[in-house]
Structure 1
Amino acid sequence: MQRWALVVLTLLLCLWLSSVAAIQIVEFCPDTYTKNEPDEYLVLAGTGPLADLIISDSVGSLRFPPSAVLDSRAVIARNGTAYRQTFGVSPEYEMMDSSPAIKNMVRKGDLRLGNEHDQLILTDHGTVIQTITWPGDVAPKQGQIHIYADGAWDRRMLMIGQSQLAPATYDNVTLTAFVSPDSSAGVFYDAVNSARQSIDLNVYELTDPAIGAALIEAVGRGVSVRVLLEGGPVGGISPAEKGVIRSLQEHQIPVMLLGGVSGVHARYRYDHAKYLVVDDSIVLVTSENFKPGGFPEEGTSGNRGWGVRVSDPRVAAYFAGVFSLDWSGVDIAPAPAGPGGGEEEASGTFQARSPAATFSDTTVTPVLAPDTSSLITDLIAGATHSVRIEQAYIKNTSAGTPNSFLKAAIDDARRGVTVQVILDSAWFNIDDDKDNDEMVAYINQVAAAEHLPLEARLADLTAQDLVKIHNKGVIVDDRQVLVSSINWNTVSPNENREAGLIIDSPGVGAYYAAVFATDWDARSGSSGGKIGRTVFDPLKGGIAAVVLVMIALAVRRRRA
């Protein structure tokens, strides 16, 4: 009998210990934007009693009130009122007594989360069950919320105010694929002109007066139109955009700037998305800004870009939700009215070769940066026989290590997957010492050194009558296609608001593969050996070789 009693007690003890061990710190923000960080906080998640847990650092400690129990998660803020002002909701507990509606922690000393270095220790009955140290477990950055998920800290960079959208996939979707400059304008204006209730538009830059006029016409039909723009684009808001903004405002169309509030930290480095939602049933997603070069008149030259018009209420609802989140932030403000001018115009003639095409029974997965941009790496890494990449540019990290998307593509080639890369050759992308021509040379040097099925080329703009390559597209195995606004640099997937779609469809894959092949094979015969074909300069190749050796040595040191 005593033996059975001992077994039961042991089991109960193990169950109790496991319930406590399941509680852990899963989120914290030590360095907020508020002076002296009264709104700093941490989050516990799990289930079980809290009275015997202690949270401490090297200076102070916190205990929970007697009888406290955790049934899911709880926020412990330094000052509950300050936390509410920043995050819009009250925490469950606070360290400093600021409100009778918020339960107080029992303090010993003064636990404050250090901005640049500190630690958090979670103990139960004197036994340490979790330790978090920074720098170390996380890299401190002002405004960053550190999240523990899937066994690791900070799988994505989450800044204060940013969304945390989960991946979603939709089957049996009907969509229309199009490319610029061939067929973009027709699809775009058909979508806008079909609106009967609402248009929500989010784009980095809107300079095309024809697009502005179409939105004004929609308002005349009784359509509710909202426009969200980037508040601080590179080079500032252009006179052409100011002119469009003024026209929209004169017709009572609200135009808001994301990141346009003085003294308020923007949630995103740039609002670089390019999409619109029509009547909560249609969403148009593209790589192109709403400028004449992205949506030129028929027969007029423009940028190479990709886009899709999705006719599906489920996908439209997803993007409508994203728009609502971004529209309601504290960092948006009405665009200032002001004189415009210098309207941009597309120029040059163009013979369209790729009409828009409609496909049914596709599978669509939205990709939002920074929330789910890791899906791009997963897409590329899942290739089995081919990856075709067309980008405005590719930038490696500031430390010189390969761009994460490019690294995934090179790793594909090391597995025998054929990888092709087209980059823009407009002067502003080949004029400096570290831009597209050097990147093409680097990629081809890697291919030559390792005998990989990997090749990069600069686009022949002359042969294609294109202004520039502004695309951010990927085709995997000729059936999965990425259409998005996400550039291949460090900031775009990690810090910007970006929007895109991964489409799984053999038909859509074949459509974009044909467009890619046209761009890949284009030759003008007048490029002087630089544009439209593989670029390999002996000097640059030698530099790339040295870089490869340095990277290899660095990797060996890390492994050692």
Structure 2
Amino acid sequence: MFAKVAFAALLVLASVPASATPAAPIRTARTPPESAPSALPSTRLPTIVAVYPNPVAMDDVGEFVVVSFPNETNLSGWTLSDDESTARLPARTVSGRVAFSTAPNRTESLTPLRTLSLSNLSLANSGETITLRRETTVEIDESGEATEWNSTRGRVDSVRYVDAPEGEYWRPKAEEWRPLGATNFSISRSGATSARVFVLPDDPEVPVETLRNANRRILLAGYSFTSRRIADLLVAAKNRGVNVHVVVDDAPVGGISNREATVLDGLTRNGVTVEVIGGERGRYDFHHAKYAIADDEAVVMTENWKPAGVGGHASRGWGVVVGGDAATDLREVFVADTSWNDTVSWADFRRGRTFNPVTPANESYPTRFPAKRVSVDSVDVLTAPDNAESGVLSLLRSANDSISVQQMTAGGIDQPFVRATLAAARRGVEVRILLGSAWYVSEDNRRVVDWLNERADAEGLPLQAKLARPDGYEKIHAKGVVVDERHVVVGSLNWNNHSARENREVAVVLHGDAAGAYYTRVFGADWGTNENTFPVGLAGFVAIGVAGAIWIAKREIRFER
């Protein structure tokens, strides 16, 4: 499972990196490293692992410092100091990660870590150095009470930070600020299983059936939610005793519509737990994920919970239903995202607000690609901003033969995913990139397409990029990638840095020939299989590259740490 901790600094500090070996399922331990059994006691020294100097509170009440103690340690004779003062640690014996605060009651509401009190320590928002020391020289005066503290030789660890953002904490090892409560999930890989693959607008019944069959729980995560059909399913599930919990973004682009407000009002009236996530202190710029857990299955999509998406009325989207460990991992993501203080009930959020008009999509399209049950070798779960960027980059860099990309938009010629596909073409991988042509993305996408094709022509690369000409759907909303026709990325992750680094996104990677063949067929139809898939300049490249290809070792699909 994910190394999941529900709140605060521990979310980021206690995770265990997943193994990068692709041959075996990758599972991440729940136990923090310092709690793991060991034959010999650790010789590592305590370290400062987090500093939270600028809480969202009057007078910065609740600021804290987190110290990791690898072994049981008696704190008598230990101090924490900043640039102005020194505080003695309480005379307790501790191990693991401990938070030290002058307002422990407030700090305990921000973190599940053991919290101990400090008599004095005021962290500067502008920045300073925090130092952990232990007593090294003891001199007893006539009363038998005085102690001399050695300020240089007794230093065990020190951390410097500058310009603390409000509501964020400093990770010294990573040298970055992170919102308090942000997760740090590692990529997880489950073993062989089956999956139900589908695309939209062809087969909107798949997410409907998945939710309709739930008997115990439905946890639905979305960016926006305007589908009355799905809402009716959730109310029916609630009425038959299913635990139903919905979370959506509080400020989607264009704002929350009147239709969404009406749908969420109806859910709330019927006892469904509905929350919005975000706000001024939100951990993520947008909650852009699009998935749901129904009992022990999860449906993961590129599409929103609206008629254009799950209604099958407009968008080309990809989706999959998976079970087993992948569904369990997604449930942990949902719990982490709804267990922090940037979520608020819909009833409280909507009070006194007005919403925007919207016209829902209602066009119908034929089913050209029905859903299919396939076997997969393994399933990986990716989350942004935690690990999705490194995971997708690793897949692209591992490609041996082909990469097919179907995206609503690409973030520009310098975007890392775009650059990785160009690099793949330069080593002989056949690359096809199909981008959306809707009016709101066509200009930016055209620039990317033209630039890539110019590079392909100039260098004789096996790469083509173009804008979609929709046939059987209105517009591309998919965020899909197929590598070597057997590794498929399906989820909400757009090809731009904001999506990968600032949003909450969820995607799965399906490993297996059957899944690869299904999405490759869909991509081929949308691309136009009768067209030449190689640019004119490829002939020279092939002539030069065939001999060299003999010695190029096949790359294994793997994830970087």
DSSP-derived class of the 1:169 partner: strand
1:45 maps to amino acid = S
d(CA) in 1 for partners of 2:166, 2:456: 40
1:223 maps to amino acid = V
DSSP-derived class of the 2:432 partner: strand
2:97–2:113 CA contact under 8 A, matched in 1? no
- TM-fit CA distance, 1:371: 2.5
d(CA) in 2 for partners of 1:514, 1:508: 10
Q: Tell me whether 1:44 sits opposite 2:55 in the alignment.
A: no
Q: Tell me whether 1:472 sits opposite 2:468 in the alignment.
A: no
1:325 maps to amino acid = A
Gaps of 5+ in 2: 1-40, 137-151, 536-561
- TM-fit CA distance, 1:384: 2.4
2:101 to 45, 70, 77: 77
Aligned to 1:395: 411
Aligned to 1:529: none
2:83 to 39, 58, 76: 58
1:486 maps to amino acid = L
DSSP-derived class of the 2:434 partner: strand
d(CA) in 1 for partners of 2:450, 2:85: 55
Q: Tell me whether 1:485 sits opposite 2:492 in the alignment.
A: yes
Aligned to 2:278: 259
Pick which of 113-122 and 282-291 moved more: 113-122
DSSP-derived class of the 2:476 partner: coil
d(CA) in 2 for partners of 1:468, 1:307: 16
Aligned to 2:375: 360
Instruction: Give the structure, 1 or 2, with the largest relative contact order (CA under 8 Å, sep 6 or more).
Output: 2
Q: Tell me whether 1:189 sits opposite 2:208 in the alignment.
A: yes
Equivalent runs, 1:248-327 vs 2, <5 Å: 248-259=267-278, 265-279=281-295, 281-296=296-311, 301-312=313-324, 314-327=325-338
1:208–1:343 CA contact under 8 A, matched in 2? no
Question: What is the RMSD computed on CA atoms of the aligned residues?
Answer: 3.1
Aligned to 1:377: 393
Q: Give percent identity, aligned residues only.
A: 30
DSSP-derived class of the 2:109 partner: helix
DSSP-derived class of the 2:447 partner: helix
Q: Tell me whether 1:441 sits opposite 2:450 in the alignment.
A: yes
2:417–2:495 CA contact under 8 A, matched in 1? yes
Gaps of 5+ in 1: 1-17, 97-110, 525-531, 535-560
DSSP-derived class of the 1:426 partner: coil
Pick which of 205-214 and 49-58 moved more: 49-58
2:486–2:517 CA contact under 8 A, matched in 1? yes
DSSP-derived class of the 2:191 partner: strand
Aligned to 1:169: 189
- TM-fit CA distance, 1:268: 2.1
Closer, same or farther in 2 for the Cα pair 1:163/1:419, shift >3 Å? same
DSSP-derived class of the 1:244 partner: helix
d(CA) in 2 for partners of 1:447, 1:79: 61
d(CA) in 2 for partners of 1:258, 1:402: 31
1:79–1:95 CA contact under 8 A, matched in 2? no
1:133 to 135, 154, 160: 160
Aligned to 2:468: 459
- TM-fit CA distance, 1:205: 0.7
Aligned to 1:28: 51
Closer, same or farther in 2 for the Cα pair 1:458/1:25, shift >3 Å? same
> Residues 430-485 of structure 1, C-alpha deviation per residue, up to 9 Å, x if partnerless?
24xxx211222233344445544333211112xx1422211111112211111111
DSSP-derived class of the 1:47 partner: strand
DSSP-derived class of the 1:421 partner: strand
2:433 to 390, 412, 421: 421
- TM-fit CA distance, 1:522: 7.0
- TM-fit CA distance, 1:237: 0.7
- TM-fit CA distance, 1:354: 1.3
- TM-fit CA distance, 1:44: 2.1
Task: Give TM-score, length-normalised by structure 2.
Answer: 0.75
> Residues 53-93 of structure 1, C-alpha deviation per residue, up to 9 Å, x if partnerless?
65444333445456x65533322234323312333555134
2:159–2:172 CA contact under 8 A, matched in 1? no
2:462–2:534 CA contact under 8 A, matched in 1? no
- TM-fit CA distance, 1:236: 1.2
- TM-fit CA distance, 1:491: 2.5
d(CA) in 1 for partners of 2:427, 2:534: 25
1:206 maps to amino acid = F
